Amino acid sequence: MRIASTLAFALMAVCIKAIGTKVPLGEIVFFRSAVALIPLVAFLWWQGAWPDGLNTNRPLGYFWRCLAGVGAMFTAFATIRILPLAEANMLSYLAPVILALLAWWVLGEKLTQRRIAAVTLGLSGAAVFCVPAFVGVFPSSTIFGIAFGIASAILTAIALIFVRRLTNAGERAGTVAFWFAVSCTVAGLITWPFGWVWPDFDILVLLIGAGLLGGVAQILMTMSFGHADAAALAPFEYLSIFWAVILGFLVFAEIPTWSFVFAVPLILTGAIVARPKRGSLSKTR
């Protein structure tokens, strides 16, 4: 289930990249989130958590989690549009590194030698990846893609801080996922007056596919933790880099750059080192 979820997320990214600029970003966010509600609601009903399980006494925590998460989704999809799949995926692994810093700053968690090493490795990898931009090798559009990718990682880390607070307070992962999908649906719909387009059949299939794949991936990831410990499943999360490289090459003829090759080991090692030992955050992403 965990492996299948990483593949489903990768295929979702393929759908988003294939749409490109033919559809406004807000419209993509809307379809991705609204369609994902279908399998999410079915899953919650199957678990017996619909609709009573959606109640919460912590609306403010959900508000901040959803606000950061919406920003992360917009910037992540912008990154996928601009950068090759593998590079966009790699930048997302800066989130655990940034989270290690935020957990120390916001939650007062101890900044151990392990976390310092994780931050050093992750930021070093990001610097290596950005070297071509500093020397003018990357076009300006790619520089924007890198900026969106880093912004997405920061916003994801902020969202995970609130996810940690909510789950530590007893909130269900399914409830957190549901309200996040609802907030992204609303945020995407708000952009409708700014130039949505009527998609043709092929684009509509990609939009619906992105939503279904995203929802199914979320469910598979959640269900996988009912069959194995989070720590045992954590290594499989990094298969997403493999899927991104393979699918990027097969579908879009993308070949990783030298900066990607050198940056991946540093960023992934930093992400692995930065992970909480019990892998609790993976349940709620």
Structure confidence by residue, pLDDT tens digits, 96-151? 888 888 877 777 777 788 888 888 888 898 888 877 766 556 666 788 888 999 99
The answer, yes or no, to whether the previous bond of 235 is cis (omega within 30 of 0) is no
Residue 164, pLDDT score? 77
Strands (E), 22-90: none
CA distance 87 to 105: 28
Backbone angles phi, psi at 93, to 5 degrees: -80, 0
Q: Which residue has the tokens 């509600």?
A: 37
127 neighbors 109 (Cβ within 8 angstroms): no
**Ramachandran class of 170: left when φ > 0, alpha when ψ lies in -120 to 50, beta otherwise:** left
List Cβ neighbours of 176 (8 Å cut-off, separation of 6 or more): 62, 65, 163, 166, 167, 284
- Chain centroid to Cα 64, Å, comes to 17
19 neighbors 207 (Cβ within 8 angstroms): yes
Per-residue pLDDT in tens (0 to 9) along the chain, 285 residues: 889 989 999 999 999 999 999 999 999 999 999 999 999 888 888 878 787 778 887 888 899 999 999 999 999 999 999 999 999 999 988 888 888 888 777 777 777 888 888 888 888 988 888 777 665 566 667 888 889 999 999 999 898 888 878 877 777 777 888 899 999 999 999 999 998 999 999 999 999 999 999 999 888 887 776 676 656 666 777 888 899 999 999 999 998 888 888 988 988 888 888 776 554 444 334
For 237, how many CA atoms within 13 A lie in the half-sphere containing its CB? 25
Q: Dihedral (C-alpha) 269, 244, 32, 155: value to the nearest 10 degrees?
A: 30
Neighbours of 274 (CB within 10 A): 25
Confirm whether pTM is higher than 0.75.
yes
3-state secondary structure of 57: coil
pLDDT cut 70: percent of the chain above it:
90
Q: Which of 217, 218, 106, 215 is nearest to 162 (CA)?
A: 106
The C-alpha angle with vertex 281 and arms to 260 and 148, in degrees rounded to 5, equals 40
